[in-house]
Structure 1
Amino acid sequence: MSDSTEFRNEVNAIGPARAATPFRISESVVPYLLSTIDLSIIFLSSVVAGGSYDWLLSHELPNLLPYCAIGILSGLLYILRMGGKGHYNFTEAIRPRLEISRIASCWFITALLLALLAFLLKIGPSYSRGALVAFSMLAPLLLFAGRSLAKTFLAAAVSNKVIGWRPIVVIGVPGEFAALREQSLLTEFSTGDVKTFMLRDGDATNASSVDATILNSAAAFARRHDCREILLALPWADTKRLDFVRNHISATPTAAWLLPDANVRALTRGAAPECLRALAINVQSAPLSEAQCLMKRSVDIALAVVALLFFSPIIAITAIAIKLDTPGPIIFRQDRKGFNGRRFTIFKFRSMTSQENGPTVSQATRGDPRVTEIGRILRATSVDELPQLFNVLRGEMSLVGPRPHALAHDDQFEQMLSNYAVRQHVKPGITGWAQCNGARGATPSLDHIAERVRLDLWYINNWSMKLDVKILVRTLFEVMKQRNAY
C-alpha cells in the first residue's frame, strides 16, 4: 500500500445510511419536554389517586382542588431535584438503560418532603393519609413508564435524524480505533454517524505534514457539520502526539475527549459500557453549555429590543444626518466571521466615504481623510455600532463577545497568532472584555492584536451572566472617555 493511500484523509461513515428528514428539532428542547412530561405525570397521579381514594370511601364526587395543588407542588420538587442531577440532559435521556434507582430515590425524597409539608401545614383534613399513600405508589410506576416511552420515542427520533443528529468525529490511529465499538461511541458520546480521521500508527515523535493535513481536515469537518464532540483514540503515553492533535483542534468550539487507550481498556474488560465515558479525559471543553447559550440568547434578544426602542430617535436622526452629509448608503455592510467561523454581514452606520469589503481592507487611522464629519462623531460616540442590534436579533452576534474583524484582517491575524481563531468559540459581540479594558480602535502592531486576543480568551474561559452585565456597564463609561476611537 502506498504512503499516499495509507495516510490519506479518511472520512468513513460507520453504519447504514439514513434518509434525510424534512425537519429537525434541537436537542435543547428535550430537557423542557421531559420535565413537562414528569410534571404532568405527577399532577395526574395526584388527581387520579386522591380522587379515586375519596370516591371509593364516600361514593361522592370529590373536591379535586387539594389534589391539584399537591400534584403541582410535588411535581416541581421532583423535577427540580432530577434536573439538578442532570436527569433531563439529552445525553442522559438517549441512553437505553432506564434509570430506575435514580427515579425511585428522587421520588422517595419528594414523597418524604411532601409528607413533612403536610404535617407542618396541617392539611390532613383536606388530604388524607390514604390518598397520600396511593399517590406515592402510583406516581413512580407512571414515571417509570413515561421515562421508558420517552426513551423509545427519542431513540426513534434520533435514528430518523429528527432530534439532535450531529456526527461524532473520531481522530486516532488504526491500532486504537480497531478496538472501539461503534455502539458504545453512539451511546456514551451522543448520537449521529461516526466519522473517522486516521493518523499514522506507531511512534509519532515528529508528527508529519500528512498528519497535520488530516487534523486540519478533521477540524474543518467538525466546524462545518457542527459536530457534537471530538473523540481522540490515541495512546495515552504518546504525549507529543496528543499535544500536536490538541493544537490543531483548539480552534474548533467543540468538546474533545481522550478515550481510554488499549492498555486501559484491557484492565476494564467486561465492565459496563458507561466505563468508556467515565474513563475518558476531557482535553477541551465546549465554551458554553446549551443552557448557558439559551440564557445568553434570551438576554440578548430582550436587551436588544429594549435598546432599539430606547435609541430609535437617535437612530432616525443619525440616518437623516448621514444622508444629508455625504452621498452614499446609510448602512455600511461588511463580511465578518462569527461563531465557528461562519460568515455573516455586519451592519454599521456609514462613517467613511469608502466601502471596503474585499481581500484588502485598510484600518482607519487618526485624522483619516476617508472619515466624514458626521462619521467622526459617530465613531467617537460608538453610535455607528447601533445597527448591530439587528445582527443580535438575527442571531449572528451577541451583545457581549469578541469583536469581529474584517475577513482580510482575520486571515492576517490567524497567521500571526496561533490561538486567534479560538475567539470564534462564541458569538462575536457589539462590545467585549477587550473593549471595556481600553482595547478599542485600530491594531497597528502584533502586541496590540495579542493583547486583544488575550482579553477575549479570558472572557471566553470565564464567562458568566454577571460578567456580561459588568462589561455592558463598563462599556458605557469607556465610550464616554472617547479613547482609541477615530
Structure 2
Amino acid sequence: MLVRHDTPNLLPYCAIGILAGLLYVLRMGGRGHYRFPDAMEPRLETSAIMSCWFVTALLLALLAFLLKIGPSYSRGALIAFGLLAPLLLFAARSLSKASLAAAVSHRIVGWRPIVLIGLSGEVAALRRQRLLTQFGTGDVKIFLLSDADSPVAALADESVLSSASDFARRQDCREVLLALPWTDTGRLDFVRSHLRALPTGAWLLPDANIRSLTRNASSECLRTLAIPVQSAPLTEAQCVIKRTADIILATLALLFFSPIMAITAIAIKLDSPGPIIFRQDRKGFNKKRFTILKFRTMTVQENGPAVAQATRDDPRVTEIGRILRSMSVDELPQLFNVLKGDMSLVGPRPHALAHDDQFEKMLSDYSVRQHVKPGITGWAQCNGARGATPSVDHIAERVRLDLWYINNWSLKLDAQILVKTFSEVLKQRNAY
C-alpha cells in the first residue's frame, strides 16, 4: 500500500517570518536600541524587547485579518512562533552584546579612548562607566585644570590643554568631553580656543547645578543633556563617502594619465641628474606627517627646517620642470598619496613643514586647515590662490578660502572644484 505525504508549503511561513523581523527591527531601531551606546549597555532591554514584539504580533494579526489570509496558516504554528520568538530575541540580543563587548575589549571595533578635560570637583562627580557607554568604548583619559584663577594657573592650564590635544591626536579621538561649570564663560572660551586646532567634536557635560536640578538625570541621559560646543568638520558617514570617491576617481585618473606620467618620468631622467620623484615631508589631517610625492622639477631636494619657496624665473627649476609646473603635471604622483589615504583629491594644499611652522605663528586659524585631509587641488587653488605666498595677506586669503571649503563641504562642491581646476591649469596663472 502506497502512503502519500504532502510536502508542506513553507513559503507563507517564510514570508510572515521576514515581515515580522522587518517590523521588529524598525520598531527597535526607532527607539534607538541599535545605536552603539545602547548596544554596549550590559543590561538586557527586557521590557523593550517584549513591547516591540507585542506590537509586531498585533500588526501581523491586523494584517492577516485585513487580507483574510488567516486560514492559510496553522494556528498551532503561529502560537508557537509567538511564544518562542521572544525567547530567541532575548538570546540573540544577549549574544550580540557579548560578542560586541568581546570585539571592543580586543580593540577590533569601536575602541577609542575618551579625553575628559575639567575641574577636579566636576570630574569626581562623573561615573566613568556612564561616560564609556554614552561617548566611547576606550579608557577615560582625564586632564585636570587648575581650580585657581591667576596668571600662573593660566600657564599651567595651557600646558594641560596642550597635553590633552597631543593625546587626542595620537589616539585619534573623535570627541572631547568638558566637565566645567556652565557659568564660567571665561574658562569655557579659554578651553574652546585651545581645542580649535583639533578636528574633533567637543561636548560640555552637565555641571553640578544642572545635575541637581534634574535629580542626577545625567547619569541616565548624559548625552542628551550635554551641549555640543564644537563639531567635527565632517561626520563619519561623510568621511566614508569622500574616501570612496577619492579611491574611485584616483584609480581612474591614474589609468588615464599613466602614459603622460611615463613620458614625464623619461623626460626628467634625460633632462637633469637626480631622482624622478621628489619627496618632502608635509602635515596632513590632524597634523599627522606624511611624505608627499611629486615629479622632480628642481635641481635641489629641500626637506628640512629651511625651505625656500619657488619664485618666478627661479634658477633652481629645470627646463623640463618649468613645463611640468606650468601645467601642474608635477602633481600627478600625488594620486598615489590619495590611494594611500594621506591625501584627498580636493582639500587644502599642504605646505612644507618649515612653512607650516611659520604660518601658524602668523595666523591663529591656520591649523584649522588640517581638520580635513590635504588635497591635490582645493577651493583656494581654483580661485586663483596658487603658487608662492610671499606676504601675510597672500596666506591669509588662502586660509580664508580653505576654511570656507571646510565649512561648506559637499560632493557637489568637490566636483565643481575638480572641473574648475582644469580651467585654472589651462590659464596657467601663478604657476612657476
TM-score bucket of the superposed structures, by smaller chain = 0.7 to 0.9
Which runs of no fewer than 5 residues in structure 1 stay unpaired?
Answer: 1-57
Tell me whether 93-102 or 334-343 shows the greater mean CA deviation. 93-102
**Residue 367 (structure 1) aligns with:** 313
Q: C-alpha separation between the residues in 1 aligned to 2:407 and 2:399?
A: 12
Q: C-alpha separation between the residues in 1 aligned to 2:332 and 2:71?
A: 58
Tell me whether 225-234 or 93-102 shows the greater mean CA deviation. 93-102
Secondary structure of the residue aligned to 1:161 is: coil
**Residue 199 (structure 1) aligns with:** 145
Matched, 1:430 2:387: no
Secondary structure of the residue aligned to 2:388 is: coil
Structure with the bigger RCO (C-alpha within 8 Å, sep 6+) is 1
Matched, 1:411 2:357: yes
Tell me whether 271-280 or 317-326 shows the greater mean CA deviation. 271-280
1:216–1:249 contact (8 Å) kept in structure 2:
no
2:178–2:205 contact (8 Å) kept in structure 1:
yes
Per-residue displacement from partner, 1:290-309 (whole Å, max 9, x unpaired)? 22222222221111111111
TM superposition shift of 1:415? 0.9
**Residue 329 (structure 1) aligns with:** 275
Q: C-alpha separation between the residues in 2 aligned to 1:387 and 1:132?
A: 64
Matched, 1:472 2:418: yes
Residue type matched to 1:187 in 2?
T
Aligned partner of 1:378 among 324, 346, 362: 324
Secondary structure of the residue aligned to 1:273 is: helix
Q: C-alpha separation between the residues in 1 aligned to 2:252 and 2:23?
A: 34
- Using the size of structure 2 for normalisation, the TM-score is 0.87
Residue type matched to 2:166 in 1?
A
**Residue 284 (structure 1) aligns with:** 230
Tell me whether 93-102 or 181-190 shows the greater mean CA deviation. 93-102
Secondary structure of the residue aligned to 1:226 is: coil
CA spacing shift, 1:83–1:339, aligned 2, 3 Å: farther
1:95–1:188 contact (8 Å) kept in structure 2:
no
Aligned partner of 2:184 among 238, 255, 258: 238
Aligned partner of 2:200 among 247, 251, 254: 254
Residue type matched to 2:278 in 1?
F
CA spacing shift, 1:371–1:153, aligned 2, 3 Å: same
Tell me whether 342-351 or 225-234 shows the greater mean CA deviation. 225-234
Residue type matched to 1:284 in 2?
Q
Aligned partner of 2:171 among 212, 225, 236: 225
Q: Describe how 1:126-275 pairs up with structure 2 within 5 A.
A: 128=73, 142-203=88-149, 208-271=154-217, 273-275=219-221
Q: C-alpha separation between the residues in 1 aligned to 2:426 and 2:54?
A: 58
Residue type matched to 1:245 in 2?
V
Which runs of no fewer than 5 residues in structure 2 stay unpaired?
Answer: none
TM superposition shift of 1:175? 1.9
Q: C-alpha separation between the residues in 2 aligned to 1:132 and 1:472?
A: 59
**Residue 454 (structure 1) aligns with:** 400
Per-residue displacement from partner, 1:286-336 (whole Å, max 9, x unpaired)? 222222222222221111111111111111111111111111111110000
TM superposition shift of 1:206? 9.1
Tell me whether 306-315 or 130-139 shows the greater mean CA deviation. 130-139
Secondary structure of the residue aligned to 2:259 is: helix
Two-structure CA RMSD over aligned residues (Å): 3.2
Q: C-alpha separation between the residues in 2 aligned to 1:469 and 1:123?
A: 53
TM superposition shift of 1:451? 1.6
TM superposition shift of 1:418? 1.1
Per-residue displacement from partner, 1:120-155 (whole Å, max 9, x unpaired)? 9x8959975967887677656544432332112222
- Using the size of structure 1 for normalisation, the TM-score is 0.78
Secondary structure of the residue aligned to 1:176 is: helix
CA spacing shift, 1:188–1:370, aligned 2, 3 Å: same
Q: C-alpha separation between the residues in 2 aligned to 1:476 and 1:118?
A: 61
Q: C-alpha separation between the residues in 1 aligned to 2:63 and 2:134?
A: 39
Percent identity between the aligned chains?
Answer: 75
